């Protein structure tokens, strides 16, 4: 892409003047980013794939080569060839711009030969003190979704941002060189594991992030960079936190806590709630309360739905009589069934009205879902001392219990005993159905 404005033209020109990696930087990249492996077998001992040196020793996960001093990961498999691809960044400045240069590196190791390292610059991010930015980059192969599919034959040109530019390097090579505006906004040389470009861009353009960085709320700042919506939404609470010099140790937990407090109508600007001594404990406590309330609301909605269905049903008396008659006709032959042990009694629900009352008392949808209309369903309830403890949906198609629910659709008391009673008496139901 041709540069389209003065800024882009200037950046492209400056980019062409950037120096290649120094020998020192290259060595550091090989040491820190490259793959370093020692082959190990109990028979032959160690072989350093960096220099070929062999020695004996006991098996370990990591060793240092006594010849070349390389720190090596030990490999005990039969593998002979190793290839690793990775990125690293060089942070530099140029004519008032902050530049983050991204290099791609491929290491090839082969038992018995010299290791090879191939390093090539993939792209650069340029950032002006006012937050204006541009990318100078290689082209990507159009089919490539992987982050290392750059077209290495293409020129470094001004290009639109794409998914390939999202790679975040964890390794920096060489000393970082940073423009004064970024230092002024709080950067003291420590990235706190934030990607350099993201951090610089936000320090220059987002004064909330700048504030957090300056007071040492690094975790919160990094979280905010990736979750700007929730961060902005709760900025008022964060200001309270800052005023009380409260350190947010785990931002995602803390935002969860704020969400729960907010849902429960607690004052989320009150330090008593939002600056808890033990964040994890407070989070768990309020989260549980929120879930309980959600459950309560869900039940109430379900209840309202069931009630309105009941009401509508009862208003149409002609239909009530019709459905009742149909139910009697279809199911009455089962009504004298009765299974019991010394405590539990299981009986069919003998009218639509009884199904309605059962749903009402048990707070579930047996009526609202109109199971009674299904010709292949036989409904029972299990009672103790005349009170229902479970509603049972039994299939007349394959003669098994489809579901057995207690109050609020929970697993009922004595579930196993009820299921056993049903199983024991399946033959009786079958003989009625025949
Ligand atoms: Zn070695």
Distance 347 CA to ligand 1 centre (A): 82
Distance 67 CA to ligand 1 centre (A): 5
Cβ(182)–Cβ(98) below 8 Å:
yes
Distance 134 CA to ligand 1 centre (A): 42
Which residue has tokens 């072989």? 47
* Percent of the residues in the chain that have a pLDDT greater than 70, as a whole number: 98
Range name among 114-123, 360-369, 407-416 with the lowest pLDDT average? 360-369
- The C-alpha atoms of residue 236 and residue 322 are separated, in whole angstroms, by 61
CATH of 326-433, one of 1.10.357.10, 3.40.50.11270, 3.40.630.30, 3.40.50.300: 3.40.630.30
Q: What is the DSSP string of 115-149?
A: -EEEEEEEEEEEE-TTS-EEEEE-EE-TT--STT-
Those residues whose C-beta lies under 8 Å from the C-beta of residue 289, and which sit 6 or more positions away, are 260, 264
Phi-psi category of residue 341: left, alpha or beta, with phi > 0 → left and psi -120 to 50 → alpha: beta
Q: What is the DSSP string of 97-111?
A: EEEEEEEEEEEEEET
Distance 262 CA to ligand 1 centre (A): 59
pLDDT at residue 196 greater than cutoff 60: yes
Residues of the chain by 3-state class (helix, strand, coil), percent to 5: 40, 25, 35
Distance 47 CA to ligand 1 centre (A): 8
pLDDT at residue 147 greater than cutoff 60: no
- At residue 144 the predicted structure's pLDDT band, cuts being 50, 70 and 90, is low
Question: Using N-to-C axis directions, what is the helix angle for 207-214 and 196-205, rounded to 10°?
Answer: 110
Q: What is the DSSP letter of 336?
A: T
pLDDT at residue 148 greater than cutoff 80: no
pLDDT in tens, 162-183: 888 888 777 899 999 999 999 9
Range name among 45-54, 99-108, 116-125, 304-313 with the lowest pLDDT average? 304-313
Q: Is 396 helix (H, G, I), strand (E, B) or coil?
A: coil
What's the rounded mean pLDDT across residues 377-387?
96
Catalogue the E-assigned strands of 147-295: 150-151, 157-158
148's tokens: 């290392």
- At residue 140 the predicted structure's pLDDT band, cuts being 50, 70 and 90, is confident
Give the containing element (helix H, strand E) for 289. Answer: helix 279-315
Distance 79 CA to ligand 1 centre (A): 18
- The C-alpha atoms of residue 111 and residue 121 are separated, in whole angstroms, by 28
- Give bridge partners of residue 340 from the DSSP assignment: 345
Distance 24 CA to ligand 1 centre (A): 19
Report the mean per-residue pLDDT for the chain.
93
Q: What is the DSSP letter of 398?
A: T
Cβ(93)–Cβ(183) below 8 Å:
no
* Percent of the residues in the chain that have a pLDDT greater than 90, as a whole number: 86
- The C-alpha atoms of residue 391 and residue 385 are separated, in whole angstroms, by 15
Distance 81 CA to ligand 1 centre (A): 17
- At residue 384 the predicted structure's pLDDT band, cuts being 50, 70 and 90, is very high
End-to-end CA distance of the chain: 80
Distance 72 CA to ligand 1 centre (A): 9
Cβ(124)–Cβ(155) below 8 Å:
no
Those residues whose C-beta lies under 8 Å from the C-beta of residue 286, and which sit 6 or more positions away, are 257, 260, 261, 264, 266
- The C-alpha atoms of residue 245 and residue 217 are separated, in whole angstroms, by 10
- At residue 192 the predicted structure's pLDDT band, cuts being 50, 70 and 90, is very high
Distance 68 CA to ligand 1 centre (A): 4
Cβ(414)–Cβ(344) below 8 Å:
yes
Those residues whose C-beta lies under 8 Å from the C-beta of residue 215, and which sit 6 or more positions away, are 242, 245
Distance 33 CA to ligand 1 centre (A): 16
Domains of the chain, by residue range, sit at 6-166, 206-285, 326-433
Q: What is the DSSP letter of 410?
A: P
- The C-alpha atoms of residue 184 and residue 142 are separated, in whole angstroms, by 40
pLDDT in tens, 220-266: 999 999 899 999 999 999 999 999 999 999 999 999 999 999 999 99
- The C-alpha atoms of residue 355 and residue 361 are separated, in whole angstroms, by 10
- The C-alpha atoms of residue 2 and residue 43 are separated, in whole angstroms, by 61
Q: What is the DSSP letter of 218?
A: H
Distance 88 CA to ligand 1 centre (A): 23
Distance 42 CA to ligand 1 centre (A): 19
What's the rounded mean pLDDT across residues 93-122?
95
Give the containing element (helix H, strand E) for 40. Answer: strand 37-41
């Amino acid at each position: 892409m041709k540069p389209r404005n003065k800024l882009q033209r200037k950046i492209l020109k400056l980019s062409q003047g950037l120096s290649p990696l120094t020998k020192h930087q290259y060595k550091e990249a090989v040491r820190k980013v490259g793959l370093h492996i020692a082959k190990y077998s109990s028979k032959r001992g160690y072989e350093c794939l960096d220099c070929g040196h062999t020695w004996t020793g006991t098996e370990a996960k990591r060793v240092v080569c006594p010849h070349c001093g390389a720190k090596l990961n030990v490999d005990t498999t039969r593998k002979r060839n190793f290839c690793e691809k990775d990125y690293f960044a060089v942070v530099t400045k140029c004519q008032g711009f902050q530049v983050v240069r991204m290099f791609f590196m491929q290491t090839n190791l082969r038992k018995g030969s010299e290791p090879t390292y191939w390093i090539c610059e993939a792209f650069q991010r340029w950032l002006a003190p006012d937050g204006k930015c541009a990318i100078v980059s290689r082209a990507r192969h159009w089919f490539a979704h992987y982050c290392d599919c750059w077209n290495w034959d293409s020129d470094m040109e001004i290009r639109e941002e794409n998914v390939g530019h999202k790679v975040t390097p964890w390794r920096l090579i060489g000393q970082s060189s940073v423009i004064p505006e970024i230092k002024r906004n709080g950067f003291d040389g420590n990235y706190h594991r934030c990607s350099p470009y993201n951090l610089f861009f936000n320090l220059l353009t987002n004064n909330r992030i700048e504030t957090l960085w300056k007071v040492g709320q690094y975790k919160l700042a990094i979280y905010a960079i990736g979750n700007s919506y929730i961060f902005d939404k709760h900025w008022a609470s964060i200001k309270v936190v800052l005023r009380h010099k409260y350190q947010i140790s785990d931002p995602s937990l803390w935002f969860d806590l704020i969400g729960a407090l907010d849902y429960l109508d607690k004052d989320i600007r009150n330090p008593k709630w939002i600056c808890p001594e033990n964040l994890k404990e407070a989070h768990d406590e309020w989260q549980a309360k929120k879930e309980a309330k959600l459950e309560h609301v869900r039940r109430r909605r379900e209840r309202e739905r069931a009630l309105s269905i009941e009401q509508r049903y009862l208003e149409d008396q002609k239909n009530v009589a019709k459905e009742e008659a149909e139910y009697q006709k279809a199911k009455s032959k089962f009504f004298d069934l009765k299974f019991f042990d010394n405590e539990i009694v299981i009986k069919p629900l003998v009218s639509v009205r009884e199904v309605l009352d059962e749903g009402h008392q048990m707070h579930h949808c047996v009526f609202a879902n109109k199971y009674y209309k299904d010709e292949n369903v036989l409904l029972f309830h299990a009672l103790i001392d005349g009170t229902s403890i479970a509603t049972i949906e039994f299939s007349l198609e394959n003669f098994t219990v489809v579901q057995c629910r207690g109050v609020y659709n929970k697993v009922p008391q004595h579930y196993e005993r009820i299921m056993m009673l049903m199983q024991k008496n399946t033959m009786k139901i079958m003989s009625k159905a025949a």
